[in-house]
Structure 1
Amino acid sequence: MSTYDLSSGPNSQSGDRPPAPGAPSGGAPAGARRRRGNITITPQGTPNRRNTELALLAFAVLLPVLAYANVGLAIDGSLPAGMLGYGLGMGALALVAHLVMRRWAPYADPLLLPLATLLNGLGVVMIWRLDKAGKLLSKNYPAAPNQLMWSGLGIAFFIVVMVFLKDHRVLQRYTYISMAVALVLLAAPAFFPSREADFGAKIWIHLGPLSFQPGEFAKIILTVFFAGYLMVKRDALALASRRFMGLYLPRGRDLGPIIAIWLVSLLILVFENDLGSSFLFFGLFVVMLYVATERTSWIVFGLLMSVGGAVVVGSTASHVKTRIDAWLDPMAAFAPDHPKGASDQIGQALFAMGSGGATGSGLGQGRSYLIGFAAKSDFIIGSFGEELGLTGLMAIFMVYALIVQRGLRTAIAARDPFGKLFAVGLSSALALQVFVVAGGVTGLIPLTGMTMPFMAQGGSSVVANWALIAILLKISDSARRPGVEPAPASET
C-alpha cells in the first residue's frame, strides 16, 4: 500500500500519538487524561509547539531586516531610514498571525508560518533593492510599498481562513461548485481587454488602476474539486483492463476525466496564451490522480498528453512560439542580426546568475536590473541568484522544499481521505509552481510568465499563497490534534 493510503493513516483509528517514555499506553503522559462517561479525553494542555513557532518567527523576521540593512549599507553607505518601520511592520503581522494560530489552530505544524514569513520578507527586501536601481531599471516604479501592503492583505486573508474555516472537510460539500467557480475564474480574463504590459498573456483582469490574476486563486479552488472527485472515484479509476509493456492501461471510459482536464488546459493555453497555468493545472491533476489510484500508467499518459499538447500549441500560437525560441537559443537576442522581437531576458538572467558565482556579489551590489521590467516579478530568482549566489539560491529552494515536505507530512497524518488528497494537492501546486518559475528562469524549460510564490511582485500571488498556507495549517491542526480515545475496559 502506498504511503498516502487514503483508507488509513497513523491516526485513523483513535488519533493517538506515540506514547512518551514512562507514559501509559493510551498516548498521553501519566495523569494527563481524564474520564468523562465511558471515554477518555486528552487535555488541551498537550504540547503543541507554538512556542517553537514563535522562536522561529523571530528569526524569520530578523533575517529580512538584516538583509534590508545590508542593502542600505551597500547602496547608500548607511542604514535605510525605513528599516525600523519595516521590521516593526513585519514583526507585527507575524505576531498577529501567530496569536491567531494559538487560538484557532493550536496543534498545527510549527514550521509552515515561519517559512512563509521568511520568503515573504526576503521578497519585499529584494523588490525594494530593485526599486533603488532608479533609472537604471527600465520602466521602474516603487513597488516595495505596494508589496508590503499586499503582504498585509495576505496575512489578513490568512486570518480569515483560520477563523472561519472550522473544518476543512466542509469544503468537500462544494466539490462540483468549486469546479464551476474555478473554470469561471480561469476563463474570465479572456473577456477583459489586455494591456501592452501583459505581453500577449490574457491572465489578468484590469479594473481601473487595480488588476489581479484569478488563476492564482483558481489553483486552490480546483484542488478542492480534484480532492473531492478523486476521493469518490478513485476505485473506478484504479481498475485496469489490460497490461501492456509493464503498464496497466485504464479502461476507455476512465480516460474521460484526464482527457477533459487536458483539453481545458489546452484551451486556456490557446485563448489566454498562458503556458504556466496550463502546465500547473494539468500537472496537479495527474499528481493527485496518481496518489489516489497508485497507477503509474496515469503518469505516463499525463506526460505524453502534455508533451503532445505543448508541441501542437507551441507550433501554432505565436506568443508561446516566441518563448520556446527564446528557450532554445537564449543568446539569440545579443547577436548583431538577431530576429525582430527576440527577448534577452533569459540571457540576462543567466548572465546575472553566472556572475554571482557560488557566494554572490552581495545584496545591493549586483546588476540584475539589466534583466529589465520583469526583474521584480518573473525573474526575481535571477536577482537572488546574482546577489546571494548559488549558495543563497539553494537555501531559498530548501525553504520551499521544507514547505512542500511539511505539507506532504500533513497529508500522511491526516485522518480523512479528503484531507489527505487536499493536502497533497496544495503541496503539489506549490511545488509545481516553484519548478515552473525556476525552470523558466534558469533555462531548463520554456518561460511561462508565472510568479515565484511569496517572493515575486504581485498581489494576487501573495494573497492566494497565504490562503494556501492557512488551509494546510487547518488540515495539520486537525491531524495533530489529540483525539478522543476509548476508555480502557473496567475490570470485573
Structure 2
Amino acid sequence: MMSVDTPARPGDEASPEFRVETGVLATMRRIQRPSRLRNRELLLLLFAFVVNGAAMVLVQLGAIGEVQPGPLVAVAGLAVLVLVLHGGLRVWAPNADPVLLPVAVALNGIGIAEIYRIDIAEKLTGWGAASTRQIVWSAIAMVAAVLVVALLKNYRVLHRYTYVFGFIAVVMLLLPLIPGLGLNVNGARVWISIGGVLSFQPGEVAKIALAIFFAGYLVRTRESLSMVGKTFLGMRFPRLRDLGPILVIWLLSMAVIVFQRDLGTALLYFGMFVIMLYMATGRTSWVLIGMTLFVGGAVVASQTLSYVNGRFRNWLDAFNPDQYEAWGGSHQLVQGIFGLAHGGLVGTGLGQGQPAITPLAESDYIFASLGEELGLAGVMALLGLYLIIVARGLSIGFTAQDDFMKLLAVGLSFTIALQVFIMVGGVTRVIPLTGLTTPFLAAGGSSLVANWIIVALLLRLSDSVRKPGPMVGAAS
C-alpha cells in the first residue's frame, strides 16, 4: 500500500493522469451507451417496417391478387413519423428503452393491414374505410407521442399536479353524460361528438389521468393503507375507515356500468387501482377486498341491469340457438369463435380468410380476425409482443428511483395488460365480452392516441431510470 507521503506515479489510482483517464472513459461511456440504445432501436424499427410492409403486401395479394401502391405509400408516411419520434428520442430521451417503440409500431402496422383487409371485403374506400381513418389517427397519435417526449422534461411535474389529473379524469368520465354532447353507440354511452363531425372517447384519456392520480395519491397515503389493521388468516386487513379510497373507486366503476353501460371500462379502472394499491402497500388483502367488491357488484348488476344480464347470458349460453338468434345475442361471439377455429394452427393466410363475416371485425373482434388469418401461432406471437411491452414497463417500475415513478410505470403497464386480457378473454369466451379495444390493433382513434401516449410516458420514465448519475472519478 502506498504511504501518504509517497508521490503518486503515473498509472496509480491516486495519480492525476489516472483520474483524467477515468473521467474521459466515463464521459465516453455516457456518450456511447445512449447511442447504442438508439442504434438498437433503429435496427428493430427497420425490422418492424419490413413486417408491416410485408403484411400489407400479403393482404393485397391474398384479397385482390395485386399490389396497389396507395396503401403502401400511406404506411410509409407513418414510418417517416416513427423515424421523427426516434430522432426526438435521440435528442430528448437518449437513454429511453429501445424496445418499446418498435413493438408498438409492429402492432400498429399489423392492425392497419388487417383493418385494410376487412375494408377490401366490405368494399369500403376513402374516408368511409376504417383503414383510412386508422392511418390518420395513427399519425395523430404519433405526433401526440412526440409532443409528450419533447415537452415532459421531468416526470415529477406529474406528481405535483396529482389532484388536477384526478379532476381531469372525473370531467372526462362525465362528458358523455351531458345531453347533446354524449353519443350512444352500440348501447354504450362513452362517446362525445365534437362539432357533429369528430367523435371521441374521453374515457381513454381518463385512464391515463387516473393512473397519474392513483400514483400520486397512493404515494401520499400508502403508510396508513399498509401499516395499520388487524391480522386474520395470516393477512393484515385494513381498518374500516381506511376502506374509503377503494370504496370510492368501486362506486365510480359501478356508476360507469349503470350510466354509461360499459362493463369493460369499469373493470379496467377498478383493476388498475387495485393493482396499484397492492404495489403501494404489498398487502394481498387489498386484492381480495377488491376482487370481492367487483365480482359482487358485477353479479348484482347482472341481475338488475338488462345490459349486463345480456352479456352474461351470451357468455354462459353462447351456442344456444335461441340466444344466438336473439337481438343483441351471441351471434357475434359465436362467429368470432368460428373464425378462430377456422384459422387453426397457422391460419388461412393474410387476405385469404373471411373475417368480415363477424360483426365489428375491425374493432371489437380484430383479435378474432387476426386469429383466422394468422392462426394460433400468429396470435401467440402478437400476445408475445404485448407481453414485451408489459414486461419492459414493469422493469421500469421495479428499477424506479422513487415511489411515484414505480407506481406510475406499473399502472400504465397494467393498463395495457388489462385491456388485452379483457378483450382477448371476451373474444375467446374466458370472461364476458365487453366493449374495450385491443391496444394498437383495433380500429379506434381515441384508443390509439391514448395508448401511444402511454408508450411515450413509459419511454420518458425509462430515460429517467437509465440516465447515468454524476461521473465518478472524473477530473475536476
Asked if Structure 1 and Structure 2 have the same fold, meaning a TM-score greater than 0.5 normalized by the shorter chain, the answer is yes
Q: What do residues 98-119 of structure 1 show as CA deviations (whole Å, max 9, x unaligned)?
A: 1011011100000000000001
- State the structure with bigger RCO (CA 8 A, min sep 6), 1 or 2: 1
- Note the C-alpha offset of 1:442: 0.8
Aligned to 2:92: 104
CA distance in 2, matches of 1:364, 1:60: 20
Change in 2 beyond 3 A, CA 1:488/1:116: closer
For the Cα contact (< 8 Å) 2:311–2:432, is it kept in 1?
yes
Runs of 4+ in 1 over 6 A off after TM superposition: 40-43, 194-197
Equivalent AA in structure 1 for residue 210 of structure 2: L
Q: Are 1:382 and 2:372 counterparts?
A: no
Alignment map for 1:178-257 (pairs within 5 Å) = 178-192=165-179, 198-207=185-194, 208-257=196-245
CA distance in 1, matches of 2:205, 2:324: 42
Equivalent AA in structure 2 for residue 447 of structure 1: L
- Note the C-alpha offset of 1:191: 1.4
SS in 1 for 2:190: coil
Change in 2 beyond 3 A, CA 1:295/1:196: closer
SS in 2 for 1:362: coil
Aligned to 1:293: 281
Structure having the higher helix fraction is: 2
Change in 2 beyond 3 A, CA 1:261/1:83: closer
- Note the C-alpha offset of 1:341: 3.8
Aligned to 2:261: 273
Residue of 113, 128, 151 corresponding to 2:116: 128
Aligned to 1:433: 419
- Note the C-alpha offset of 1:94: 1.5
Aligned to 1:160: 147
CA distance in 1, matches of 2:75, 2:187: 38
For the Cα contact (< 8 Å) 1:147–1:458, is it kept in 2?
yes
For the Cα contact (< 8 Å) 1:292–1:421, is it kept in 2?
yes
For the Cα contact (< 8 Å) 1:73–1:80, is it kept in 2?
no
For the Cα contact (< 8 Å) 2:318–2:324, is it kept in 1?
no
Residue of 309, 319, 323 corresponding to 2:307: 319
For the Cα contact (< 8 Å) 2:324–2:330, is it kept in 1?
no
For the Cα contact (< 8 Å) 2:23–2:474, is it kept in 1?
no
Aligned to 2:348: 361
CA distance in 1, matches of 2:324, 2:241: 53
Change in 2 beyond 3 A, CA 1:263/1:489: same
Q: What do residues 326-362 of structure 1 show as CA deviations (whole Å, max 9, x unaligned)?
A: 1112223x45994444241100000000110010011
Q: Are 1:171 and 2:154 counterparts?
A: no
Q: What do residues 42-92 of structure 1 show as CA deviations (whole Å, max 9, x unaligned)?
A: 864131210000000001111011011111111121112325413421321
Q: Are 1:302 and 2:284 counterparts?
A: no
SS in 2 for 1:330: coil
Equivalent AA in structure 1 for residue 354 of structure 2: R
Equivalent AA in structure 2 for residue 162 of structure 1: V
Runs of 5+ unmatched residues, structure 2: 1-12
CA distance in 2, matches of 1:196, 1:260: 26
For the Cα contact (< 8 Å) 1:238–1:293, is it kept in 2?
yes
For the Cα contact (< 8 Å) 1:131–1:141, is it kept in 2?
no
Change in 2 beyond 3 A, CA 1:144/1:242: same
For the Cα contact (< 8 Å) 1:42–1:483, is it kept in 2?
no
SS in 2 for 1:243: strand
SS in 1 for 2:188: coil
Aligned residues: 455
Moved more, 110-119 or 241-250: 241-250
Q: What do residues 285-308 of structure 1 show as CA deviations (whole Å, max 9, x unaligned)?
A: 000000110001001101100100
Alignment map for 1:67-78 (pairs within 5 Å) = 67-78=55-66
Equivalent AA in structure 2 for residue 385 of structure 1: G
Aligned to 1:142: 129
- Note the C-alpha offset of 1:41: 7.0
Change in 2 beyond 3 A, CA 1:64/1:250: same
Q: What do residues 362-407 of structure 1 show as CA deviations (whole Å, max 9, x unaligned)?
A: 11111111112x1100110000000000000000000000000000
Q: What do residues 261-295 of structure 1 show as CA deviations (whole Å, max 9, x unaligned)?
A: 11111011111101011100100000000011000
Aligned to 1:342: 329
Aligned to 2:23: 33
- Note the C-alpha offset of 1:188: 1.1
Moved more, 344-353 or 481-490: 481-490
- Note the C-alpha offset of 1:317: 1.5
CA distance in 2, matches of 1:124, 1:95: 18
CA distance in 2, matches of 1:171, 1:406: 21
For the Cα contact (< 8 Å) 2:182–2:192, is it kept in 1?
no
Identity %: 46
CA RMSD of aligned residues (A): 2.4
Moved more, 469-478 or 243-252: 243-252
For the Cα contact (< 8 Å) 1:69–1:83, is it kept in 2?
no
CA distance in 1, matches of 2:466, 2:305: 48
SS in 2 for 1:109: coil
For the Cα contact (< 8 Å) 1:64–1:121, is it kept in 2?
yes
For the Cα contact (< 8 Å) 1:247–1:297, is it kept in 2?
yes
CA distance in 2, matches of 1:225, 1:295: 20
